[in-house]
Amino acid sequence: MSEKKAVLLDRDGTLIVDMVYLNDPERIEYLPGVFEALRLLRDHEYVFCVATNQSGVARGIVDVRNLDEIHRRIQAKFCSEGVDILSFHSAPYMTSFDHPMRKPNAGMLLEAARWHGVDLAASWMVGDRMTDVEAGHRAGCRSALVGVMESPENFHHFRPPEVHAPNLLDVAREIVARS
């Protein structure tokens, strides 16, 4: 079986509006262009997994059952839009705890690759934070930064992203152009 190329995605600020410790599945709000972006990437033979830091669980702000339901609903919505998200990987650890699963470490990406036979060298990590970019690089992927939340110039200790664009659709177009 040949390995797949994947786009590994951050959740908050990349696929959905960052509600800061989203605990209510009714409050999921999708960012503009995300369905079109993933359909474009799907049509270029990418598969998808989500890797999300979730310190809200460790803080007692996010209930793990709600987190599971949020992920179930996101997966179902993307499925109804013609996109299969293979799995969700979350790191429910405090920001101060350098857990191997928590971005900027590569644990969640490596886990997704193991689960689904992903060729990390042919894959991308996409997120709205430089910790997402760094996690991708540490896993052996190329990385893309979405939006203006953070600027690579302010994070000299991390390698810059290969792509930086204002939204996921523009990132998807750049990934396809580089495929």
Q: Which residue in the list 10, 43, 68, 132 is annotated as catalytic?
A: 10
Our answer to whether residue 84 is catalytic in this structure is no
Whether the bond between 104 and the residue before it is cis, its omega within 30 degrees of 0, is yes
What's this model's pTM, rounded to 2 decimal places? 0.96
Q: What is the pLDDT of residue 66?
A: 98
Is a pLDDT exceeding 80 seen at residue 97? yes
Structure tokens at 129: 């934070």
| pLDDT for position 23 | 97
pLDDT above 80 for 1: no
Query: For the residues of 103-161, what is the DSSP string, one character each?
Result: TTSSHHHHHHHHHHTB-GGG-EEEESSHHHHHHHHHHT-EEEEESSSS-GGG-TTSPPP
Which of the residues 12, 43, 63, 98 is marked catalytic? 12
Query: Would you call 12 a catalytic residue per the annotation?
Result: yes
Q: Is the pLDDT of residue 2 over 70?
A: no
The residue ranges of every structural domain in the chain are: 5-177
Range 22-33 burial, b when 16+ CB lie within 10 A, else e: beebeebeebee
The listed CATH number (1.10.1370.30, 3.30.1330.60, 3.30.70.2190, 3.40.50.1000) that belongs to domain 5-177: 3.40.50.1000
For residues 18-44, average pLDDT: 97
